Amino acid sequence: MTHVFHRQLGKELPLAVAGEGVYLFDDSGKKYLDASGGAAVSCLGHGDPDIIAAIKAQLDTLAFAHTGFFTSEPTEALADLLVEEAPGDISAVYFVSGGSEAVEAALKMTRQYHLERGDEKRTRFIARRQSYHGNTVGALSVGGNVWRREPFNGMLIETTHIAPCFAYRERRDHESEEEYGQRVANELETEIRRLGPENVAAFIAETVGGATAGVIPPVKGYFKRIREICNEYGVLMILDEVMSGMGRTGTLFAYEQDDIVPDIVCIAKGLGAGYQSIGATLTSGTVYRVFRKGSGLFQHGHTYMGHPTACAGALAVQRKIRDGNLMGQVRQRGEELAQRLHERFGNHSHIGDIRGRGLFQAIEIVEERSTKKPFDPKHKLYASIKSLAMDNGLICYPSGGTVDGVSGDHVLLAPPFIVSPDQLDEMVEKLGVAVDSALGEAGVT
């Protein structure tokens, strides 16, 4: 019996013992193609010698120094690199240990920003349905996934959730994509007015919807309208790029492709590529200057923020992405993956949508393509697909509740940036087998 308090109890997990490139190996020698990078984390794959060497070198020099007393060379260098690479007025980086912490910091940063400016009434946050922002209390509060929130509803912070930009599910037949985007974006203005602009602190959204809806890219013009609304009402715009950022969609920051700049952006996962635990909350110069000219103190902190070893690992990751021109490869491989998915599933009677950006792709599984009707949740197709894929040596990221937090199934793919065309073939072939097998076990033809 294990003494580890695993997330899912009573389930025996394989014991991972090694990783090489896009593959992981268990203690029986079985080989698994990591088609989702875990949870869109391992963007450089496993066992990269350059990243490991950078971490070892930092350990030989300085493993840890608390940021209440010191800064460190890798911490400063990583912040410089991120600010240099970020489009727009992104000027400061607050390091944490993961995505939930990055979002939590963003929420508290937003509240204190308004206090520093004398806007004491601005306490309300607006987010989107079917979003996921993390598992700490604040992050879970702004998240919009029904299933994840339900056990903790009594202790969550009051948050308003408006419609996501989910064109496959919510665009009306007569609407162009741009008209649809403007319509759903304008829900933000309606909600700000309902709450009273003087009460609203920020709007938070995933730039590209991730785990709980299955990679939903925004339509053209959606975020530009969101930015206009936030500017008009003095509401901060927070973008959560914990999953979609750091090159996953083909540009280092996902928001680059939507021609806007947020006030605060949260990153993690691909920042350190899984080699160390790290995340960050980046702010605009406008936000940062309010703190500098005001109290000069952000009333927040964690023991391991700015950890030298984590920052050294992340710095090596980001330099490798930049110097190796991996963004071009992500875009190329992303097109190739999308093409393979369309070839395999485009005419599949139970695949309703294939969507994504770069090496961030998903398929949505439906009972009826014509009506987009999801399968009854009792089938737990997403769980069957995950299990069958693992049996066949494929790690993918299926989830349920795609449509409304209860119904709907999708499979998310986020392979390492170093994936080869042949490995894409292997990935899609094994995914096809898993999907068809799961449907067969559920009695679906």
Span 326-343, pLDDT tens digits: 999 999 999 999 999 999
205-to-130, 230, 265, 276, 355 alpha-carbon distances in Å: 10, 12, 10, 26, 18
The confidence band for 431, taking pLDDT boundaries of 50, 70 and 90, is: very high
The confidence band for 266, taking pLDDT boundaries of 50, 70 and 90, is: very high
Does the pLDDT at position 445 exceed 80?
A: no
63-to-66, 292, 312 alpha-carbon distances in Å: 10, 29, 10
Helices (H) and strands (E) in the chain, counts: 14, 15
Does the pLDDT at position 1 exceed 80?
A: no
pLDDT at residue 2, rounded to an integer: 84
Residues sharing a CB contact under 8 Å with residue 108, sequence separation 6 or more, in sequence order: 138, 298, 299, 300
| Assessment of whether the complete model's pTM goes beyond 0.95 | yes
Span 374-396, pLDDT tens digits: 999 999 999 999 999 999 999 99
Does the pLDDT at position 64 exceed 90?
A: yes
Tell me which residue of 196, 195, 261, 203 sits closest to 230, measured CA to CA.
203
Q: What is the CA radius of gyration of the chain?
A: 21
Which stretches of 304-420 are DSSP H helices? 308-323, 326-345, 381-391
| Domains of the chain with CATH codes | 16-47+326-441 (3.90.1150.10), 52-323 (3.40.640.10)
The rounded distance, in Å, linking the Cα atoms of 161 and 382 is 25
pLDDT at residue 10, rounded to an integer: 80
Tell me which residue of 79, 99, 107 sits closest to 91, measured CA to CA.
79
Return the SS3 of 426: helix
